[in-house]
Structure 1
């Protein structure tokens, strides 16, 4: 029973790079036809409102290759997530409540793909990876796009959120590693 519990926080793939490292070749290698994407610290930083040109290009490339993409965010600001989704022309759901399966299951149903062909992409083990594993999705843990930009010397509200988010993420990874999970 304990081994099964640790399996829930074990991603199928860990990338030491941002989401743009997911290529059509990687998708083909793992038999994926679609991705459910977290937003905060996966596509954009916690305090960012605009999608970077690199991520825009990545989304366009994935869409041109006929991959189904959808956003599923725990963020409560529907306006913010809607703005991000509209800027890259993707369907979305905010207030997902991950690791609850309800909203992510609705997104998966809307994609009309078998769960084995869909990846759940995010930066957090205890939300994104758990919900993906609970639904039988291929789980991919990525580096946040802004992790290297944390400004410890110039405290501001934005940098405090980045530090908090980085601390929580690193805490999850530390717990997982101490428990024997390969992350």
Structure 2
């Protein structure tokens, strides 16, 4: 697998996760979604998901299985979010390592090609999904452009670097703007 194949998402959604509609999910033949947590479902500084995310999850769980997989080391934070949303989860995933994502796939009892890996980061979420043959979806963080803590600022620096890497690799990062 070359660099472009490794870092290129199958779908770039230039909006937050709640724009990933049931029609899009069905169009790509997905029966399950593995979701990143921080800057995918909620901001790094947030403790609870927004009503928009909660509504999206309520509708999406009707059509496919959902599993949370986070690199966050705070198991208590991810557990609280997962419990509040009534979703299975794993923290400390060390993505782009495949081990924890494989465990989530096994728990979902779905083949890789029927599961979407959804996240905000190329170097973690997209790479692990592509390495496993999953359908990869890059989304915009729900709090894009809002003032964040030092951690959010660091995330934006990495995101800018990832955008530069995509551009240098010839990947069109504009995505679908719904």
TM range (shorter): over 0.9
Question: Looking at CA atoms only, which structure, 1 or 2, has the larger radius of gyration?
Answer: 1
Aligned position for 1:126 = 123
**TM-score in terms of structure 1 length:** 0.91
Aligned position for 2:40 = 42
Give the CA deviation at 1:143: 0.1
Where in structure 2 are there 5+ consecutive unaligned residues? 174-178
2:19 aligned residue (4, 18, 21):
21
Where in structure 1 are there 5+ consecutive unaligned residues? 151-157
Question: Is residue 2:8 matched to residue 1:10?
Answer: yes
Aligned position for 1:171 = 161
Matched length: 173
Give the CA deviation at 1:83: 0.5
Measured against aligned partners, the alpha-carbon deviations of 1:88-145 in whole angstroms (never above 9, x if no partner) come to 1100000000000000000011100111110000000000000000001000000000
Q: Distance in 2 between matches of 1:16 and 1:103?
A: 27
Aligned position for 1:153 = none
Q: Distance in 1 between matches of 2:16 and 2:158?
A: 18
Question: Is residue 2:96 matched to residue 1:99?
Answer: yes
Q: Distance in 2 between matches of 1:95 and 1:141?
A: 20
